[in-house]
Structure formats: structure tokens, C-alpha cells
Amino acid sequence: MAKLTPQEIADRASDFFKLGFYPLVDIKPVKRGKCRKKTKCVSIPEWVFKYEYPFIVYYISHEVVHFVVWKHDAKFKEHERSILKTWGIEIEYKRAYPKTLRYKGKTINLDQKA
Ligand SMILES: [Zn+2]
């Protein structure tokens, strides 16, 4: 997997969903990510970058999907699944979040920091 920057990951998702704008990626020491519709910005917690790259891709893509669908409903998951598929990432859900992420068949560690 070619390692794009966090901003490039978000830009790629924006192109995929034809958002018509590129949300600014703001990396912060926060607990949870956020999609800010008004300012067209996604906040990504710093801790995300301690995980394997496919998880980083997942996390940033997830926040960008919120520009398409606000709630974590079936439509949201369908969009999330389709953007992740373009990266070769498969997701299995536990409610709104991944129970399992796989990159090219390899399970990504979601419990322990890489
Ligand atoms: Zn979310």
C-alpha cells in the first residue's frame, strides 16, 4: 500500500465521494475524531497514528464518510465499505465501528498499538 499523507487519504475519499471540496485534516491530541461540516474539517486524534497504516486509512476515511452520511446507519456503512474496498481493506462491524479490519486478508491489530 502506497503511504499517502493523512491529507492525501482524505482527498482521495473526497474524490471518491465527489464531495466537491477537500476537507482539511486537523491532527490533534483529542480522544475521538470529529467531522465538522461547517468548517469542512476533520479532526483526527494523534493516537490513531500509533496504529498500522490500514487503520489510519480507515479512521480518516470514516470521518470523511460523515460528509456524505451523518449517522452511522446502513447507508453510512455501505459508503465506508466501498471506500475501504478501493484500498483493499475489508471491515466487519461491531455496531458503528470495526470489530475486524483486514488488509489483503491480513488482520489489522485494533487492540494493541503497533
Ligand atoms: Zn463516525
pLDDT tens-digit map of 2-45: 799 999 999 999 999 999 999 999 999 999 999 999 999 999 99
Rounded to the nearest whole angstrom, what is the distance from the C-alpha of residue 106 to the centroid of ligand 1? 24
State the pTM of this model.
0.95
Q: How many CA atoms lie within 13 A of 82 on its CB side?
A: 14
pLDDT tens-digit map of 88-102: 999 999 999 999 999
Phi, psi of 54, rounded to the nearest 5 degrees: -60, -30
C-alpha cell at 108: 489489522
Rounded to the nearest whole angstrom, what is the distance from the C-alpha of residue 61 to the centroid of ligand 1? 10
Rounded to the nearest whole angstrom, what is the distance from the C-alpha of residue 63 to the centroid of ligand 1? 6
- Please, what are the domains in the chain? 6-107 (3.30.2010.10)
Rounded to the nearest whole angstrom, what is the distance from the C-alpha of residue 94 to the centroid of ligand 1? 13
Rounded to the nearest whole angstrom, what is the distance from the C-alpha of residue 41 to the centroid of ligand 1? 14
Q: Which of 101, 93, 90 is nearest to 48 (CA)?
A: 101
3-state DSSP assignment of residue 48 = helix
Q: How far apart are CA 14 and CA 17, in angstroms?
A: 5
